[in-house]
Structures are given as structure tokens and as C-alpha cells.
Structure 1
Amino acid sequence: MSGGQPDTTGPLLLGVRHHGPGSARAVRAALEAARPSAVLVEGPPEADALVPLAAEEDMRPPVALLAHAVDEPGRSVFWPLAGFSPEWVALRWALEHEVPVRFIDLPAAHTLARGSDESREPDEGDGVRVDPLGVLAEAAGYDDAERWWEDVVEHRGVGAGDPVAPFTALEEAMTALREECGSGGRRRDLVREAHMRLRIRAAQREFEDGVAVVCGAWHVPALRRKVTVAADRALLKGLPKVKTDMTWVPWTHRRLSRTSGYGAGIDSPGWYEHLFDVPDRPVERWLTKVAGLLRAEDRIVSSAHVIEAVRLAETLAALRGRPLPGLSETTDAVRAVMCEGSDVPLALVHDRLVVGDVLGEVPATAPAAPLQRDLARIQRRLRMKPEAGERELELDLRKETDAERGRLLHRLRLLGVGWGEPAVARGGTGTFRETWRLRWEPELSVRVAEAGVWGTTVLAAATAKAEADAVGARGLAEITGLAEHCLLAALPEALPTVMGILTDRAALDTDVGHLARALPALVRSLRYGDVRGTDTAALAEVAAGLAERVFVGLPPACAALDADAADEMRRHIDAVHGAVGLLGDDPAPGHGRLRARWRSVLRTLSARDTVPGAIRGRSVRLLLDDGELAQDEAGRLMGLVLSPGTPPADAAAWIEGFVGGPGGGLLLVHDERLLGLVDAWLTGVPAEAFTDMLPLLRRTFSAYGTGVRRTLGELVRRGPGAPGGTAAAVRGVPGFAPDPDSARADAVLPVLRLLLGPDGEDGGARGGLVGASG
């Protein structure tokens, strides 16, 4: 590459790396030395009115400028800024010194007219896109652009003699690169640079020569180049545009690692923030921070480890010819000294410190849509501050504040704002409990803007969205799920509309599969309504009618199904069984009779030869679990199925239906007769048929827990059904005997006393425990 000295006349052009702490320090030093009359920054001009908010006490980076199309809020683009971003430093310097500051990049109105994210737009002509830092690093003999940047910028500091010298050197390199690569595959940059030149000319006319420009180093040669005003205007003529709104939104360090807005991303925002905030002894302070994190995770890390890690990092830097240890050296030192060579704790360091979960804040005075303001008000009232890190929130819906929190999260999910995701509760399974995983992502600000079309408050927007979704729903299960959401989110005004459509669709839908998929959500809604005090009488009536239609249509729908259809129908039967169990507990008139009707359906399915074996086996199993079928009768039915006259594939499907799923393995463990039937059948299956059935059998038995499989193996090895009965079969297997083992039961009594306290005489406690173990 070749290139001469850049022309230094005209405005002060400070070419930077976006989100570069070294560039940020150099910008501050250059502005202090030059004291310009105006500061121009690469960014959308529509944000000029938002600049004063950067000086507010409540504004804490990382933050981003968010622009979205007024008529299509989902079309949006961000311009992120961290505390160590040169653009942010320039804004703050100008505000502190009361110097006018303006953005000069292409307006967001044009950017949004082309696409929701400028960085993803295809460029025309000019070939492959060039990575400027990568090319310069390669020319300097580096295979890592990040390491090259650290060596030439981050570890060099700001020159005391000439604060503009770093920018001059970088401009020389970029000038030579642009001479060779042109626009580097970024034709869109030619349009942006034309607009920047026009804005710079206008500022020079207003402020004469006292203008400083902070922009990406890639653009500096183009801004320095002499181009006529007419040529620049010609490039901008006829650009499409849309009406836009713009505001500040919180951003996160994790999102800084993504390419957005400026077209720049960094791999280690936490490390860069550290370099910017801690210019004195950064390596020692970084490794001390790492040690604190590892100690908080119960790893043994002492001050001696920190000292040794510093020495190792410095040695590695010297061996690699680097002026100071960088992130790669400190990472290697942490792995060797503090992590004992393991990458597992090192991954934690990378996630928590190198990247980090810092979430910025914006002042309440920032422009916001009415829905966003209502959400912020509710968040403050319920003390639910958005956080970048994932956390669990346990809710007790019997408490009013927790109930309101749950309703808010359900309403936001209905609006497509996934701040919280439901999780499995650890403290219990009652319907008065909810567990959520919360994590606020910057993109959720866009989702809130999009949801603003439904209303100005969260409640009004969720209600309108639920009604619209009900009208547009295509399946019955979708509507019943929506009814469930309405109850969870407490949307009483939307429920009549949803229920009306649900009733009409249920009356017209004749597909048993659709009805079976819809019933469980409907029944869950009844239970949720109980704990939330919602009137669910209309819902109960629809659920009972839906159940009756399932009962009538299920037997004929189960005839002559292939293997895949039978497997799907079996899942429907399981879901309906659980739903009927809940309906049977409901005090509503007629619901108590539903269980009896359902048992009759199961008996019908279990006895029909035209019903696939998987469904017949599952029906027998459900009747047995509910105590509606004697153990001997279940054994008789299994014996009939496993007789030589039954095709092996059908018998294998029946077994999968009967003993597959939760509890199936324990059923075989505790009932030696059933296990003996299965064992005898398996050993008698012809070799040619066994190979075909093996995948099905493997799927059935591999679902059992490790302990269950091991116990079954022991039972089979000793021979189920051998002379002597169960005692002979399980002799020597811990936990299985014809009578309770008093000695083993007595062993846990001291622990129970510690847990539960004194409980009277030993005999009473022992008798209770032995009875339980039997």
C-alpha cells in the first residue's frame, strides 16, 4: 500500500474505532487541546434534539439511540454508545464545555427506508466487503485484528506532545487503504460520506474553522477529499425516506458485541470498559477483579494467585513481543494459575467480566410512546426493575403484589414482549405459584413500540391484542390457549369475545384431535380462574361440552391408525385423562359424572381389536393407575396380548402404551407377574421379528431412570416368576423383600428426630415409619 501525507487543512478530523477506549481517551485529549467551537459526531441528525439528555444524571451508558418507522415500529435501527465510545466522550465533552454538538451521518429516515438494520443491507458493486482493521493488522504481521489494535492503540496511551498524532497516523493508514480498496464493498458508505461532507461544510460556514469531527477512521479520507457540492447532492437525490421517531433506550454490554448501527461490534466490552476506566495498572486490577469473581463462586483463589498470574501475563507479553499484557495474556494466565488449566471457570470469567451484563439507564424525560411510559410506571410501582442478567422470580399469587406482577408478565407475553418466560416452580406445583425467568434485552424496546398500535396502556393493548388474535385464530386449540392467556393476564373485557368465538368454533369443529388438543388448556384455565377469583362459569360449560364430544368421537377416531397417528392419538388421550381428572374435582354440576364417562371410553378402547396396540395398552394402564382395573385383570389382558397368536409388532406397541412413560418401569419392578409376562414374551419372539421391533422396545425401556433399569436387570437375571415367588426373585436386591425391613427403617430415625424434633416414644415413630416403608 502507498499513500502520501493527508491534507490537514480544514476541520479537525478525528478518526476513531467505534467503542474503542484508546480512541475515546485520544478524542478527549484532542478536544481539550483544540477547544473547537463546534463538535460534529457520526450519527443520525434526527437525534440532535436528544443530545442534552446525555448530560442528565440519570443517563448511564451503555445506551443507544433508537430510531423506528412511525407507521411500522418493527422497522428500527440502533446506534449503541458505551461509556468508552469515542462518540459518547465527544458528546459529554461538548455538553460540559457548552459547545454546540450535532450529528452528521445519513438521516435515519433514509436508513429505515432501506431496511431495519443498515449493517445487514446488501451493498452493490465494489466486490467483497473489506475489514479495515483486519487488513491493517495483516499488513503489520498480525493474525488477530483485536490484538493489533491493543498493541498500537490501547497500550500506547495518549502522546503528551501532540494529542492529534494518533489520529494523523491512523488517517495515513486509512488513506492508503482507501486508495487501494475504494469503498471496500460498502457502496452505501459513499452516500453517507456525501451527506457528512455537506453537513461539515454547513458547520464550517457557521463556525468558520473551529470544527472538530468525530467519525469512524474509515470515513476520514473520504471526508478530507475535495468533492463539489453538486456531486454530493447528486448522490443524495431521490433517496427514499419514511417518517421516524427517535429516543434513547438502555443498552447492554452483551449487545455491544453485535454488529449494529455504526456497523461495529467488539468481542470484549467488559475488558474495554476496564481499560478505559482503569488506565493505571490495568492488568493488576483486572486480575484482582477476576479473583474476586472466582472467590464468589467458591473457588480457592488467594492474593498469591493474583501475584503469580500478573507475573505470568507479563512474561507471556514479553515472549510475544507485546508492549503490555493484553486480554489473551491475562486469559492464559487466569487459566493456568487460577483455573488449574480448566476452561469451565474461564467461561464464567468471559461471560461475567470480559463481556458482562451491564445494563444502561436513560432518564424518565427521554421521549417515549404512551405504552412505554405506562410500562415504566408499572415497573416502578411493582418494583420490577429491568435487568440485563437472567434471574428467577418466584410469585405467590395469593399476595396482591405478586399477582399483579404475574398479570403484567402475562400481558406482555400476549403483546410479544418476552421480558419473562414461565419456568418450572421449585417450591411446589400449586396453581397459586408461578416462577418466571426474567431478562431484559434492548430489542424489547422495539417490541414495546410495535405493541403501541394496540393501545396506550398495557391493559388496553393486551385486551385489544387478545380480541384480534381470537378473530384471526385458525385452530380451536389456539383459541382455548388464548382463553387461558386471558385468565392468566386478567383481561375480563377480552374474555367474552374470546369465549364467543370459542363456543362457535367448538360447535363446528368435528376433528377429535382438535377437540382433544383444546380441552387441556380449557381445563387449566378453570383452575387458574379459581386462584385468581375469576368467574369461569361460561368456561366450565364449554369445557364440559367439549369433553362430552371427545368421549363420543374418540373410539371411532382411534380405529385403523398407522403407527405415527396412533402415537399422536395416545398423547391426546394422556392429555384428556389429565384434564378429566381436574374436571372431576370441579364442583360444577355434572362434572363429577365426567370421570365415569371417561372410564367407559377407556374400557371401550382397551377392548377393541381395531384400535392400535399402543392406544389399547395406554387405556389399560390409565384404568389401572386410577384403581378402576384390578392388578390380576391387567395381567390377564397383558397375557392375552402377549400370546403367540398376536403379531410381535402389535404386542410391542401394546407394551409401549402400557409401560411407557412415567411410572411404567416401577410398575414392572413391583409386579413380578407383569415383568414375567414381558420377559417370557421377549424371549419367545422370533429372531427375524425381534430386529424389527428393537427400536420400539429400546425407546420404551430407555425412558426409564438408571436405577429402575438396573433393578429390572437384577430381577430378570434372577428370573421373574421363578419358584419361591417374589422373595426368590428379588432376594439380595436392596429395598425389595416380602416384608418390611425394620432394621433399615430404624436407621433413619435419628435423622428424622433431628429434622422433626422429639416425637414421643420410639415405638410409635418406628411403627409409623415401617408402615410407610411397607
Structure 2
Amino acid sequence: MTALATAPAAADARERVAWPLLLGVRHHGPGSARGVVAALEAARPDAVLIEGPAEADGLVALAADPEMRPPVALLAHAADDPGRAAFWPFAAFSPEWTAVRWALDRDVPVRFADLPAAHTLAASDPTWGDGEDEADGAGRTDPLAELARAAGREDPEQWWEDVVELRGDTDPLAPFAALADAMTALRERYGHGGHPRDLVREAHMRLRLRAARKEFGDAVAVVCGAWHVPALARRTTVTADRALLKGLPKVKAELTWVPWTHRRLARRSGYGAGIESPGWYGHLFAAPDRPVERWMTKVAVLLREADHPVSSAHVIEAVRLAETLAAFRGRPRPGLDETTDAVRAVLCEGSDVPLALVRDRLVVGDVLGEVPAAAPAVPLQRDLNRLQRSLRLKPEADERALDLDLRGETDAARSRLLHRLRLLGVDWGEPTAGRTGTGTFRESWRLRWQPELHVRVAEAGVWGTTVEAAATARAESRALAADTLGAITALAERCLLAGLTDALPAVLGALADRAALDTDVAHLADALPALARSLRYGDVRGTDTAALAGVAAGLAERICVGLPPACVHLDADAAAQMRDRLDAVHTAIGLLPEPAGATGPGTLAARWAAVLRRLAETERVPGVIRGRAARTLLDEGGLPDDETARLMGLALSPGTPPADAAAWIDGFVGGSGGGLLLVHDERLLALLDGWLAGVPAEAFTDVLPLLRRTFGAYEPGVRRTLGELVARGPEAAAPGPAALVPGFAAVLDEERADGVLPLLHLVLGVPDPQATATEASA
């Protein structure tokens, strides 16, 4: 590599160039990118060939569009299978990109020379376009590692930075000549040493080079991976090259430009030609003068935004330390290692926690490119782009939170779009737990646009030309293919969330058919909550849910009939699962509208209360279910206090096995509010305390784990209060009106209790009957 420093400068490079000019590069290297521009400016070729899929010639002019901002990628996908795709990424600091821009800015013809995407996609393992072009490609001798080893260096990345990225040369052509000699020596020593497909690709590039020289003359420059330079310089015959291409599998391919991200250029993302630090390389390319000072300033700004105290003195000291480390290590200028060490020591005060932020946001980065509207796209992508603009939902590489108020027209439309995309497998947004629970007027999302989503959109294009039409067709197809009742009810819920009213008839038809055939009460109980949520969401979004309400009511009726027999003689695990289903069904029935004309015992709520009482009083039902049924009735006001105490007394009687009694306790006081129930009803607490004190020693060990799980779930304050009540002794905890909790009177003061009702009605947003009556009388 001494030629990098000793090659003489030339006054007129074009005159001494041995055409064609082969510029071997490292993909996504800022030094290579600057070197390519300098070499092209000196040689002034009549045409430029770029390593990339040959079909992209018709798209190359878009690189000059003012709206095109790298990083971007060429996306190729099979016309009949959009999921079969490959990418060719370009960053602002990619040598191929700078060569394209140089040619377009000077009206020099530019072509792509690599194997057509039609063949790449037909291969058994299509990958990210140039992912196998670099030294990092699987199965290939690593040229950088071999050259670094020959120079006595262990780290090929650092060696490449020193000899290319961090130095300049007076002769713009000398580095490429030296690198070509090195690659020739490597290929002579190790043979082909690359991916088997390299021979085919190089044959196609030679054919394209011959065609370009025939069209434009000998003054043609080729920008390609350095590994391929010796193969392009080698003399072969047209017949031999065509023979290598004969019989290659082929598919119809469609190509376009799509936005890309720096994070997807990183090697850690799985990209074969990836680099460790795209953000750092982008900085080196954008700031050729005083790069270390500018970098430290960026780091300082980032850390200050994260509330880390960083001053100008810190920046100055970090720059000095980086330069000292570079001199001590014999490097021409500070590289990423030196700047990172200086940032850790000075700006981060030795901590790796803020340093991780620097690495994520700056060293790698989340820059997202932009593509002009003129770029080819499937109709579905165009409709999505239109919706993104109209709803002001710009795709971003950075993850961000989005809170929606569904009462607003724009937010409701945003919600529908995100849910429709999820139905199509385009997971741009992911629902998250927000400030309020499920089924309210608010939704919370976490948004992050990934380049691969363009492939998902292309795949989804087979379902329709608009997002709504495609989501509707996809939902109808999934309804026909669903094999379980739960899958169909979940699909119905998603259709309502997405506002796909046209898909509901098919989904509800499949739901009714499946529900009529399914006799498993557990399946019915699992399906009902989703339907109830769907009805509530439909009400929030103004969706007609009358048909869905009928299906849900039918399911609820069948559950009321079949649940009691299904709860008899269950083992412990099955009983715990049925207890959870009982909770879910109870919540769901509370959300369902009552059938028209139903009154008194004929209401759904009344029939469900009868089911709960039957479960609570049937001895053959496991204790955990009986206890939960009793507790549910008590919470709803369907079980008097005396009756509750009677049921607890029966469950905790001496004749009940301790394990069964402990299960009843778990069902009754386990979960939300169970501890407060014992705090405010000391009769129940006394019954429980008496039973617990009487459990035989040999049985206590068996029931202790269940009891600890039950009471361990209470809030610390509740546990402390219960402990204080028990510590007061059996007299204080005995049943009867004398046992009072501090702060509570012996008799309810109804007048004081009624005083909170106006405020409660105001908070809940429901009319106050008393106030309405007063106004009417006035």
C-alpha cells in the first residue's frame, strides 16, 4: 500500500488513464466516496457504470431530484411475489451514490452494471442487493482482514480508517491503483475466494462494460466493490461470459426507490456489507474539516438534551485527549476509537450509560431518507403516502409515542389507518397502554417506520389498491380461513377498530356459523370478551354494531346455560383457568346492551346473577370458582352481607378440607379489592382469622403457598392495615357492630354520603336524576 503515499501527482489525469477506469471501493466508505469524486473529476469519463441491478437504469435520474435525500435504497421485488425482495442501499457517503450524483450533475451518462434483479430474486437466497459484494459477505475471503494482517494490524476496520478514511492524497487515482494491485494479489493467492454467484455477476458486469464502451467510447469509469476489480480487468471473451449467464433462473422484477435508515446500514442489523458506525462515517463525509471538533460538539449537544452537564471546557478537553490518543497510537488523525475513549473519559465522566446514548444516537443514528413522489410505487403505497400526508403522520425512523383522542375526526382517522395497516401486516404502529384503559376515547401507539415495511406494503398490494379496500379484502379472507371461534371474534374486534364496515358481514357470518357449531363453553367464554370490547369500541367510533350485538347476546345466553355444568369436578389448573374466564365473562356481560323489551328476571344481567348464585352454592364446583362467584355477587350488590358470611362460614367449616377452603379464600379475596373487602368488613375478617387459627399444623404447610400468593398480591398499605386489625385481638375482630374500623361510624350517614353524588355525576358525565327532577319541578 506504499503507492497510496508515493504515487506522483498528474497534471492531466485523463491523458494518462488506462481506460476503462476501474474504481474499486468499499461500500459506504466516506474516504472512498470522496476519492471517487476526486478521481472522476480528474479523469472526466464519458460514461459511468455503477454496481447495481441493471434494470435500475430507468430510475437513476431520480437521484438528482431535490426531494431525494439519502439514505435510500433500490428495492426490487418479484411481480408475482412481492415478499421476495432485495435491497441495494445508498448513503450520502456511499461511493456509488457520489458517482451517480457526479454524473447526473454533469450530464454524463450513468448506468447500472450488476446482475439484473430478475436473476437475483430468482435465486434460492435473495439478499440485500450488495450484501455479498463486500469483504463481509458470507463465504468470501475477507480482503480487509487479509490486507490489515499483512500490514501487521489486527483490526481491519481501524486499518481501513487509517489508510483511506482519515488521510488525503495529492494524486486522486493512486489509491485506486494501489487497491487494485492488492486485490489482484489476494485473488491470485486465494483463488476466487468469494461467493459462487460472484463469477456470474462479474461476467454480466464485463458484458455491460463492453456495451458501454461500444456506445460511448473507451473513456468509461466503473465504480464497484474493490474485490471485483481484478475480474473486470481480466480479458475474457463475450462467448465465455454469456455462457456463464446461460440458463439462469429469472422472474419478472419491479424496482423503485425507498427510504432507508442509518441503523439499517449497520452490520448489527444483519446487512452483509454493513458498517459498524454509519453515523460516524456520515459525519466524516459531511465535515471533512475539523471533524473531531465538530463531532465533540454534536456529542455535547446530545448529552445536554439528556440533562447531562457538559460545558465548553469539556469539549475542548475531549478534543485534546482524542488528538493525544491518536498521536500515542500512531494514527494519522483521531478515529472513532480515540473519540469514543475521549467522550467516555471527559464528557461522560467515565460512565458507559451516557456513552451508550452517544453510540445509539450518533455513532449509529436513525437518519431516515426521503424519496420523491415521482418514484414508481404500487397503488397501495401511493394511497398510503396520500393518507400519511393528509393525516400529518410522517414516517420517522425514531420511535415516538402517539396519543389519540377518538372523539376528534383526525385522530379517529389516524387510528383507523394504523389498525388497517396492522391487519395488512404493516406494523408501523404498535398499540400500547396509555393513560386510560381499553375501550375508552383514547388510544396510545408507539410508531416507528422500518424500511422493510415498504416490502410489506408491496406484499399487501395484492389485496387492493387502497388501504381500506386491501384491509377489507384481507379481513374477509382471514374470516373464511379462521379455524377457531376465538380467532374470528378477535378479527371482528380488529375490523371494528379499523372501521371496516364492509368486511363485517363476512366476518359476522363466519362468526355466527362457527358459534353455532361450537359447543365448548370454554371457547364461548373466551370469545365473548372480544365481542363486548368490539361493541364498546364501535359505539366510541360511531360504527353500526347491531348485527354484532345479536351474535354477542346469543353467545352470552349459551354461556349462561352451559357454564354451571362445565364448572363441575375440575382439577386445580382447570378451575383456575375457569375462574379467569368467569371474571372475563362478567366484565363482558356488563358491557353488553340488554335485549329489547327485556325486564326483571328476563334481563341478561339477572340471568347472569342467577348463574353466579348457582355456582356459589354448588358443592361440586371447585372452591376457587365458588369463592369468586360469591365475591362477584357481593361486589354487584346481589349478595347480602349476612348471606356472604354464611357462605364463607360453610366454606371454612371444620369439615371442609384445608386445601379446598384455601382455594375458596383465593377465589373470594384474591385479585383487585379483596384486601379492602376484609379491611371494611371485619365479620369476614374474623371468620377468616378463626379458620386460619384452626388449621391443623400438618395441613397448614400445604395451604401456606396458596395463602401467601393470595395475600401477597395486596398493596403494602392494605397488608399493614390487616395486620393491625388482627393484632388488636379477637375481641376487636369479633363479628358485630362493636368491631369498628378507625374512621368509620357504626351506622351509615346517608345524608353525608349523598353529598358526593352531584360531583360523582359530573365526573362520570351522566345526568343527576335528583338535579333533573328539581329543574323540572322549578
Bin of the TM-score, shorter chain as denominator length: 0.7 to 0.9
1:359, CA displacement in angstroms?
A: 1.0
Q: What is the one-letter code of the residue matched to 2:394? A: K
In structure 2, which of residues 603, 617, 634 is the aligned counterpart of residue 624 of structure 1?
Answer: 634
In structure 1, which of residues 144, 164, 167 is the aligned counterpart of residue 173 of structure 2?
Answer: 164
Distance 2:132 2:62 in 1: 34
Distance 2:728 2:539 in 1: 48
- Partner deviation per Cα, 1:720-767 (whole Å, 9 max, x = no partner): 64433499xxx9xxxx83459xxxxxxxxxxxxxxxxxxxxxxxxxxx
Distance 1:249 1:260 in 2: 18
Shift in CA distance, 464/167, structure 1 to aligned 2, threshold 3 Å: same
Alignment of 1:717-736 (within 5 A): 719=727, 721-725=729-733
1:75, CA displacement in angstroms?
A: 0.7
Task: Check whether the contact 1:583–1:591 (CA below 8 A) recurs between aligned residues.
Answer: no
Residue 646 (str. 1) matches residue 651 (str. 2): no
Shift in CA distance, 627/331, structure 1 to aligned 2, threshold 3 Å: farther
- Partner deviation per Cα, 1:267-318 (whole Å, 9 max, x = no partner): 2111111110001111111111111111112221111111122122222223
1:645, CA displacement in angstroms?
A: 3.3
Distance 1:116 1:482 in 2: 34
Task: Check whether the contact 2:595–2:604 (CA below 8 A) recurs between aligned residues.
Answer: no
2:264 counterpart residue number: 255
The DSSP-based 3-state class of the residue aligned with 1:336 is helix
Residue 45 (str. 1) matches residue 54 (str. 2): yes
Residue 510 (str. 1) matches residue 519 (str. 2): yes
Task: Check whether the contact 1:78–1:260 (CA below 8 A) recurs between aligned residues.
Answer: no
Distance 1:321 1:639 in 2: 85
Shift in CA distance, 237/582, structure 1 to aligned 2, threshold 3 Å: same
Runs of at least 5 residues in structure 1 that lack an aligned partner in the other structure: 741-774
2:12 counterpart residue number: none
Shift in CA distance, 591/431, structure 1 to aligned 2, threshold 3 Å: farther
1:433, CA displacement in angstroms?
A: 1.8
Task: Check whether the contact 1:673–1:720 (CA below 8 A) recurs between aligned residues.
Answer: no
Give the number of aligned pairs.
Answer: 725
Shift in CA distance, 643/324, structure 1 to aligned 2, threshold 3 Å: farther
The DSSP-based 3-state class of the residue aligned with 1:481 is helix
Give the TM-score, by structure 2 length.
0.87
Residue 737 (str. 1) matches residue 745 (str. 2): no
Shift in CA distance, 322/587, structure 1 to aligned 2, threshold 3 Å: farther
Distance 2:455 2:224 in 1: 26
Shift in CA distance, 203/599, structure 1 to aligned 2, threshold 3 Å: same
Residue 152 (str. 1) matches residue 160 (str. 2): no
Give the TM-score, by structure 1 length.
0.87
- Partner deviation per Cα, 1:510-556 (whole Å, 9 max, x = no partner): 11111111111111111122122222221111111110101111111
Q: What is the one-letter code of the residue matched to 1:604? A: R
Distance 2:138 2:60 in 1: 37
In structure 2, which of residues 332, 336, 356 is the aligned counterpart of residue 327 of structure 1?
Answer: 336
Alignment of 1:649-664 (within 5 A): 649-664=659-674
Q: What is the one-letter code of the residue matched to 1:251? A: W
1:264, CA displacement in angstroms?
A: 0.5
The DSSP-based 3-state class of the residue aligned with 1:75 is strand
Distance 1:627 1:588 in 2: 24
Residue 273 (str. 1) matches residue 273 (str. 2): no
Task: Check whether the contact 1:480–1:521 (CA below 8 A) recurs between aligned residues.
Answer: yes
Task: Check whether the contact 1:544–1:591 (CA below 8 A) recurs between aligned residues.
Answer: no
1:153, CA displacement in angstroms?
A: 1.6
2:206 counterpart residue number: 197
Q: What is the one-letter code of the residue matched to 1:566? A: A
2:677 counterpart residue number: 667
2:544 counterpart residue number: 535
Distance 2:71 2:217 in 1: 33
Residue 392 (str. 1) matches residue 397 (str. 2): no
Residue 612 (str. 1) matches residue 630 (str. 2): no
Distance 2:742 2:610 in 1: 36
The DSSP-based 3-state class of the residue aligned with 1:74 is strand
Distance 2:177 2:641 in 1: 89
1:30, CA displacement in angstroms?
A: 0.7
Task: Check whether the contact 2:266–2:276 (CA below 8 A) recurs between aligned residues.
Answer: yes
Task: Check whether the contact 2:439–2:533 (CA below 8 A) recurs between aligned residues.
Answer: no
In structure 1, which of residues 1, 11, 29 is the aligned counterpart of residue 20 of structure 2?
Answer: 11
Distance 2:102 2:80 in 1: 36
In structure 2, which of residues 305, 324, 333 is the aligned counterpart of residue 296 of structure 1?
Answer: 305
In structure 1, which of residues 196, 206, 219 is the aligned counterpart of residue 228 of structure 2?
Answer: 219
The DSSP-based 3-state class of the residue aligned with 2:114 is coil
1:347, CA displacement in angstroms?
A: 1.8
- Partner deviation per Cα, 1:610-633 (whole Å, 9 max, x = no partner): 222222222222222222234454
Distance 2:336 2:720 in 1: 49
The DSSP-based 3-state class of the residue aligned with 1:479 is helix
1:133 counterpart residue number: 144
Shift in CA distance, 356/720, structure 1 to aligned 2, threshold 3 Å: farther
1:414, CA displacement in angstroms?
A: 1.3
Distance 2:508 2:219 in 1: 68
The DSSP-based 3-state class of the residue aligned with 2:264 is helix
1:657, CA displacement in angstroms?
A: 2.3
In structure 1, which of residues 560, 583, 586 is the aligned counterpart of residue 592 of structure 2?
Answer: 583
2:760 counterpart residue number: none
Task: Check whether the contact 1:14–1:214 (CA below 8 A) recurs between aligned residues.
Answer: yes
Shift in CA distance, 651/186, structure 1 to aligned 2, threshold 3 Å: farther
Q: What is the one-letter code of the residue matched to 1:151? A: D
Distance 1:290 1:578 in 2: 52
The DSSP-based 3-state class of the residue aligned with 1:426 is coil
2:448 counterpart residue number: 439
1:189, CA displacement in angstroms?
A: 1.6
1:328, CA displacement in angstroms?
A: 2.2
- Partner deviation per Cα, 1:218-268 (whole Å, 9 max, x = no partner): 222222233333332222221111111000011111111158998311121
Deviates further, 386-395 or 648-657:
648-657
Distance 2:148 2:120 in 1: 30
The DSSP-based 3-state class of the residue aligned with 1:248 is strand
Residue 284 (str. 1) matches residue 293 (str. 2): yes
The DSSP-based 3-state class of the residue aligned with 2:457 is helix
Q: What is the one-letter code of the residue matched to 1:168? A: A
Shift in CA distance, 127/573, structure 1 to aligned 2, threshold 3 Å: closer
1:404 counterpart residue number: 413
Deviates further, 256-265 or 82-91:
256-265
Residue 500 (str. 1) matches residue 505 (str. 2): no
1:761 counterpart residue number: none
1:111, CA displacement in angstroms?
A: 0.9
Deviates further, 420-429 or 470-479:
420-429
In structure 1, which of residues 473, 487, 490 is the aligned counterpart of residue 496 of structure 2?
Answer: 487
Task: Check whether the contact 1:20–1:272 (CA below 8 A) recurs between aligned residues.
Answer: yes
The DSSP-based 3-state class of the residue aligned with 1:79 is strand
Residue 526 (str. 1) matches residue 535 (str. 2): yes
Q: What is the one-letter code of the residue matched to 2:404? A: L
The DSSP-based 3-state class of the residue aligned with 2:167 is coil
Distance 1:110 1:379 in 2: 34
Distance 2:645 2:727 in 1: 18
Percent of counterpart pairs with the same letter? 73
1:381, CA displacement in angstroms?
A: 1.4
Task: Check whether the contact 1:80–1:260 (CA below 8 A) recurs between aligned residues.
Answer: no
Task: Check whether the contact 1:19–1:81 (CA below 8 A) recurs between aligned residues.
Answer: yes
Runs of at least 5 residues in structure 2 that lack an aligned partner in the other structure: 8-15, 746-778
Task: Check whether the contact 1:253–1:269 (CA below 8 A) recurs between aligned residues.
Answer: yes
Q: What is the one-letter code of the residue matched to 2:454? A: S
